[in-house]
Amino acid sequence: MFYRVIISLVIVFSYLQSFAQYEVTGTLSNINDKNTPIENHPVYFFIDTVLVDTVYTDDQGVYYFNYNKDLIGTLYVKTVGFCDSWNLYVDSVIQKLDEITIINFQICHENSSDACHASFEYEHVDSVTINFQPNYNLEGLMNYEWDFCDQQDGSTVQNPQYQYADQGIYTVQLVTTNPLGCSDTSINEVLVSEDTYIRGRLSIPGNTLYDAHIHLINFYDHTIEKTVYADQDGNYQFWCNPDKYFLKVIPDIAFDDFPRVIPTYYGTTINWQEAVATPDVHAILDVDVQALTSYFFPYGDNRITVELESSLDLDLIPIDVLLLDENLNPIDFGIKAEYARYEFVGVPAGTYYVMPECPGKNSEYIKIEFEFINENPVFTEFNVTSTQITPVGIEDLKRNDERFTAYPVPVKDQLSISSEFPISQIHISDASGRIISVNNFSFENNCMLNTQSWPQGVYFITVFYDNQPPGSQKVVK
């Protein structure tokens, strides 16, 4: 690594005779070769912190300064060199000031890239006014050329303050040149706005995701603040207040898409509790989001209907209903058929779980099993509160008797029985076979059972007829 060395000589000026002229002269040579002069090299003459004069060495490495006695202050002669170690610099002190003072320098003479590094930082004064600060200043001996990317004049000031006419993203360029002629250019995007700018690219493994939109969800109250659609290259952008946010990708629904794309939070998860929030900063944020995929293919005839009930306005809440496999891996998401109702169609035989998901709410899931590819539709219902999404009503029915049909009425938390033959009695048993209720009917073909008091679990419905053997079905709540 290269370091920067500024070599200085301090001449303490006391009292000089009137009208007397004084001269400081000397030579510059390479510290690694004392017999090799350094030509066309800058030497600086300061009074206190004020640069009075700059000269360059001739072809013999010699420089000259002239000054008169009425200069009052501390006099400095400086030059610059660039070395790979501070230990290569040996200082010297002039004990006496003569009419001709000879000061010879031996310096490192390597034009290191570190000596003209043009990186810079900036800070906001207000929405359109920016303070710029280069990271390297070489004690005022560096030249600066600023281009603020607004088709106006730039600046040559070391630390300029600039006011833009309009808010936006500007590509600012800084060119620095050190006293040895080394030049470097730095180009950075600068945010000129009170807002934060979040941008990025949507993708799935190995490909761009462009047929999707993305929600900007407030980290604290979990409301959707903005929604944008990705362009054909999968790019998106938000202008928003500086705050913390969740980002959630919602793919378009297309049954011929393969692999299936799953709604995904930034952080590559379906669960808001595992999602990564953007930082609360006033800055340009580049946030790429990769969505989850599955190789689930809907080739069956089974259907699952999911209904949400709530006192809340569900159109204002970012809820998605997910289908999980037997290992709780997401494989699909439901089609919104109408307000608060979602469907999964073409579901093959197998074991599944249905889970609504919403930021800020703890969600439970329902287990559903299909033994065949064309069983009766399954109707499930969830209650959505400000903090939870929980299943209600009957969640699964197994039809074992063709003489009667049982289907849930979730809104009333009831189970409707429709029979080919008049029903005299219905027994409800738990999974252990213990009868928990006996319901008598007056030989009715259509009966209704209240299920509000049933805890979650597996139950068996046994229907008794007058002149027929009984029949049964399994119910999962």
Question: With a cut of 50, which residues of the chain have pLDDT below it?
Answer: 1-8, 10-19, 85-96
Give the CATH architecture of domain 116-192: Sandwich (2.60)
Domain residue ranges in the chain: 3-110, 116-192, 196-294, 296-391, 393-477
H/E element holding 143? strand 143-147
Question: Are the folds of 196-294 and 393-477 the same?
Answer: yes
Q: How far apart are CA 289 and CA 202, in angstroms?
A: 5
Beta strands in 339-434 (DSSP E): 341-347, 350-357, 362-363, 366-370, 378-384, 388-392, 396-399, 404-409, 414-430
Domain 393-477 belongs to what topology? Answer: Immunoglobulin-like (2.60.40)
Q: Which residues contact 338 (CB under 8 A, 6 or more apart)?
A: none
Give the residue from 309, 304, 476 showing the smallest Cα distance to 395: 476
Alpha-carbon dihedral sign for residues 226, 315, 312, 329? negative
3-state secondary structure of 322: strand
Q: Which residues contact 57 (CB under 8 A, 6 or more apart)?
A: 27, 28, 37, 38, 39, 40, 41, 43, 63
Q: How far apart are CA 158 and CA 145, in angstroms?
A: 9
Strand-pair category, 330-333 with 396-399 = unpaired
259 preceded by cis ω (within 30°)?
yes
The dihedrals phi and psi of 289, each to the nearest 5 degrees, come to -120, 125
Q: How far apart are CA 69 and CA 21, in angstroms?
A: 7
Instruction: Write the CATH number of the domain with boundaries 196-294.
Output: 2.60.40.1120
Q: Could you give the dihedral angle defined by the CA atoms of residues 385, 387, 393 and 398, in that order, rounded to the nearest 10 degrees?
A: 140
* Whether the Cβ atoms of residue 321 and residue 356 lie closer than 8 Å to each other: yes
The pLDDT of residue 91 = 36
> Helix and strand tally (H, E) in the chain?
0, 42
Whole-angstrom Cα Rg for the chain: 40
0.85 exceeded by pTM? no
Q: How far apart are CA 286 and CA 291, in angstroms?
A: 16
CA 32 vs. chain centroid, Å, equals: 51
The pLDDT of residue 254 = 66
The pLDDT of residue 18 = 42
Q: Which residues contact 255 (CB under 8 A, 6 or more apart)?
A: 298, 346
The dihedrals phi and psi of 86, each to the nearest 5 degrees, come to -65, -25
Counting Cα atoms < 13 Å in the Cβ hemisphere of 282 gives 11
The pLDDT of residue 93 = 40
* Whether the Cβ atoms of residue 78 and residue 49 lie closer than 8 Å to each other: no
Give the CATH architecture of domain 296-391: Sandwich (2.60)
Give the residue from 321, 330, 241, 251 showing the smallest Cα distance to 281: 241
Q: 3-110: which CATH number, 1.20.1050, 2.60.120, 2.60.40, 3.40.50?
A: 2.60.40
Q: How far apart are CA 138 and CA 416, in angstroms?
A: 85
